[in-house]
Structure 1
Amino acid sequence: MFTKSAIPLLFNRHAPHLDPNSYIAAAQVFPMRLNSHVAEDLIDWSNTPQDPMFQLAIPQPAMLGPTDLQKMMAALQKELPKTDLQQIAEEIRKKLNPHPANQKTENVPRLRGEEMPGMQHKYRETVLFFPSEGQFCHAFCTYCFRWAQFTSVGSSQTFKSNNGEQLRDYISSMPQVRDVLFTGGDPMVMPARILASYIDPLISNGAPSHLETIRIGSKSLAWWPYKYTTDADAKEILGIFERVVKSGRQLAFQAHFSHPRELEHPAAQEAIRQIRMTGAQIRGQAPLIRHVNDSSQVWRNMWNLQAKLGIVPYYMFVERDTGASHYWNVPLDRAHRIFSEAYSGLAGTARTVRGPSMSASPGKVGILGVENVRGETVFVLKFWQARDPSWVGRVFFAKYDAKATWLSDLEPAFGEAEFFYEPRYKELTTLMKDGSSGQLLNSISP
């Protein structure tokens, strides 16, 4: 496993043309972790620093503003104590919105007045669970919107729980909940016996009958496909997936693929085959990231390959407003054009994908296009998922802004004072902060 301390070794071995010092400075602020599969099989070192996998796996100097980069490099040059370096890093991180979309204040549910740690319940039908043993990944993505969990600020940013019974009890009390999403970090860093301890109570006798789908959000098929082929507990992992399917529920594997190269590796394709043989369904999703996949041809190739391998193309996300978003984000107008151009080159079997989608505080907001309406150029937007289910499917309009990269950058069109959902959103968030989230979501009729 390679971390920031391995940068000089990696660069000396693979990329002597790069100065490691600025990369070491960036890795003081942003987390870095990569394994032999990423370092040896995915990164094209001959094309660094432009190589998309290099950009994806190793913190880039430009992720820091010029002043912050110079400050950190100067501190390293002076060989300041580790505690001083950590303090400088913390000061920089605080400016980078380490906790986007108000997840900690608006999404954490309660049961009988007690807060449910390690859970989020933003949408009526879906509960998110963050297992304590899944708080890291096989490798870290430099754009990750949960980057703060992997730094020293993690103690105040991390969601985690090791209480599988509490998860089962909460879902049992919420008959509107139809699926649970295990996320992290990455739940697939866990050994089979730990994963089973969380999943088995949800599919065995006494499990909530209204729970139809168990989802697993994971980058493991890209970062470490051997989890499902040659690791010591690979067969046990696949056996867990089979048990879910045999219980009459769906095992939906939410695979994070950022670039076609991750799918092209033979190990990844064999892992995909093994998972599909269990009866599980694999869906592909990723954000649109500048320097990595901001090309319609890249997405077209990736979605077509996913369809060929039996993966359902699911979502193209917009990079969230956190961390080094200034380095990674793509303007919404360009994001829509990239999506549309890629979509036009897909067969019908791959046109299951939706996007570009902003996972903002009110919900998942899709960009349908840019149009001229009543003499005004506007973004056409639509809720694909929402805190209030009555918003789902609603189309609304925002003033066109060529520089906008996130929902908060947009203003209502046609002289409106606010977007249609804002009054209700304020009401909902107030109730959630008061601890009424679960009961509130459960009371909203389908």
Structure 2
Amino acid sequence: MLRSITQYRPVTAKKLTELRYWDNLSVDYRKTFLVASEVLPFRVNEYVLENFIDWSAPEDDPMFRLLFPQEGMLTRSQFARIEAAQNATSTDLREAVRVTREELNPHPAGQMTDNIPTLGEDILDGIQHKYAETALFFPSAGQTCHAYCSFCFRWPQFVGEPAWKIQAREAAQAVSYLRCHQEITDILITGGDPLIMNSKNLRRYVEPFLAVESLKTIRFGSKAVTYWPHRFLAGEDAADLLSLFEEIVASGKSLAFMAHLTHSRELEPPEVKAAINAIRATGATIRTQAPLLKHVNDDPVVWAKLWTDCSALGIYPYYMFVERDTGPSGYFRVPLWRAHEIYSSAISRVSGLSRTARGPVMSSHPGKVVIDGIVEVHGQRALSLRFLQAREPTFVGRVFLAEFDETASWLDDLRPLGGGEFFFEARGKPTEPAAPQWTAPERIMGGVHA
């Protein structure tokens, strides 16, 4: 039964053990939680706990698996390492946690090496520029979320490692960069979740972008619409947030709210529907995206219901992603052939209005690669793949074939049909892309490592 909670109360790993929910968990699971949460960031809130989890059988619940660390998210050796360190000194535990996190590939797809731009001689903090038309902006005040998804590839932002954080304390550098890179038409404000900030702080970051004429679209990447819908409904700050959305639209820029919706159950509470209506009333469009996750949503019926319900609420289905190769990805991994099968089955169950969803898509180092299908070439099965987006703009739309591999779950697991190397590889490793055709100011001001 859905329960209305209007006061935001976060729940950390330590706090959970003091609440009544802890009593619903088995002894074996409690052990798993206490060990795994040393490594994997954990944060929920009471609204999420009350509205999205079946507490009569929590450990079998898909939303529980989405929010809580599970057995299998750490390898046996990693689990044993942390468990042993818990009985040693605090220094030993910190070192065991650090080593384990390093093993979880904290920054995949060149995030810290190939996506960080420069302006003149300066390396810019809190900005990522991988694709020509789109830049990502990470405000420092938005480096947490109302609740953490256990799969999240942004998990390094949440674990207190300063060197792993991507964050900007103000927007001035980003604005200067945008003015020098007029090929950038879209900026995605992300985190964490930028809507964890109060509206005054958010406005401080956003309003400078409104003066950049070449910028056409402002995007917010957020889970707030389901993890804390009252962010849009209650009090003066909610009103100020919606006013900011209206201001963005009135400036002539498109406002795209990128809602991360992972399971159809997230749309059930009436507060969520009210929040969606409030956002749309400002003139913003809402699109939804999520990864395909074993144990959570690896079922075409779940995706079809999610997309159908989204369309009924005025939300555009956007992406079904393949889980990135970071964090506890092994627990959530779905073979690529199965991912395509789930996508195809799901898309066949919805009307044309919901078939805006693209997938399954891998956000890999060279770009966003979609699995278009399984084909047969001279009697040999193959995966047909295509670049939807790419570091090297000339790769966009390019189709290529890979040998069918029933165990492959990521681009790096695949081999070209017929042998050799993929056109985007050299000696088995990602190539440096051909120099993008940046604008003239780019050539004057300096390069971008993306």
* Pairwise TM-score range, normalised by the shorter structure: over 0.9
Label 1:17 to 1:216 Cα distance change in 2 as closer, same or farther (>3 A): same
In 2, the alpha carbon distance for the partners of 1:177 and 1:298 equals 35
Q: CA deviation at 1:53?
A: 1.1
Q: CA deviation at 1:442?
A: 10
CA deviation vs aligned residue, 1:73-116 (integer Å, no higher than 9, x gap): 3333x3x3333222111111111111111111101111112111
1:201-216 correspondence runs (5 A) = 201-203=208-210, 207-216=211-220
Q: Which residue of 1 aligns with 2:193?
A: 186
The one-letter code of the counterpart of 1:269 is K
Q: Which residue of 1 aligns with 2:18?
A: 9
The one-letter code of the counterpart of 2:197 is M
CA deviation vs aligned residue, 1:140-174 (integer Å, no higher than 9, x gap): 1100111122114x211110002211111111111
In 2, the alpha carbon distance for the partners of 1:440 and 1:104 equals 24
Q: Which residue of 2 aligns with 1:73?
A: 83
Q: CA deviation at 1:175?
A: 1.2
Note if 1:328 corresponds to 2:332.
Answer: yes
Q: CA deviation at 1:22?
A: 1.9
- The gaps in structure 2 that reach 5 residues or longer are 1-9
Aligned with 1:102 (options 76, 99, 110): 110
Note if 1:53 corresponds to 2:63.
Answer: yes
Q: Which residue of 2 aligns with 1:418?
A: 421
1:359-378 correspondence runs (5 A) = 359-378=363-382
In 1, the alpha carbon distance for the partners of 2:269 and 2:390 equals 36
Please identify which structure carries the higher helix content.
1
Aligned with 1:33 (options 25, 37, 43): 43
Q: Which residue of 2 aligns with 1:43?
A: 53
CA deviation vs aligned residue, 1:334-374 (integer Å, no higher than 9, x gap): 00000000000110111101000000010000001111012
- The gaps in structure 1 that reach 5 residues or longer are none
Note if 1:263 corresponds to 2:270.
Answer: no
1:222-237 correspondence runs (5 A) = 222-237=226-241
Q: How many residues align?
A: 433
Q: CA deviation at 1:12?
A: 5.6
Q: CA deviation at 1:290?
A: 0.8
Note if 1:174 corresponds to 2:181.
Answer: yes
| Structure 2 counterpart SS, 1:28 | coil
Q: CA deviation at 1:127?
A: 0.7
Q: CA deviation at 1:231?
A: 4.6
The one-letter code of the counterpart of 2:148 is F
Q: CA deviation at 1:18?
A: 4.2
Give the TM-score normalised by structure 2: 0.92
Note if 1:160 corresponds to 2:164.
Answer: no
The one-letter code of the counterpart of 1:88 is A
Percent identity for Structure 1 against Structure 2: 45
In 2, the alpha carbon distance for the partners of 1:64 and 1:395 equals 36
Q: Which residue of 2 aligns with 1:408?
A: 412
Q: Which residue of 2 aligns with 1:313?
A: 317
In 2, the alpha carbon distance for the partners of 1:402 and 1:112 equals 47
- Residues 121 and 438 in structure 1, CA contact (< 8 A), matched pair in contact too: no
Q: CA deviation at 1:65?
A: 1.1
- Residues 381 and 396 in structure 1, CA contact (< 8 A), matched pair in contact too: yes
In 1, the alpha carbon distance for the partners of 2:158 and 2:262 equals 20
| Structure 1 counterpart SS, 2:409 | coil
Give the TM-score normalised by structure 1: 0.93
- Residues 121 and 446 in structure 2, CA contact (< 8 A), matched pair in contact too: no
- Residues 125 and 178 in structure 1, CA contact (< 8 A), matched pair in contact too: yes
The one-letter code of the counterpart of 1:117 is D
- Residues 108 and 437 in structure 1, CA contact (< 8 A), matched pair in contact too: no
| Structure 2 counterpart SS, 1:428 | coil
- Residues 134 and 190 in structure 1, CA contact (< 8 A), matched pair in contact too: yes
Q: CA deviation at 1:208?
A: 2.1
The one-letter code of the counterpart of 2:268 is E
- Residues 110 and 438 in structure 1, CA contact (< 8 A), matched pair in contact too: no
Note if 1:62 corresponds to 2:67.
Answer: no
| Structure 2 counterpart SS, 1:117 | coil
Q: CA deviation at 1:409?
A: 0.4
Which deviates more, 398-407 or 193-202?
193-202
Label 1:284 to 1:378 Cα distance change in 2 as closer, same or farther (>3 A): same
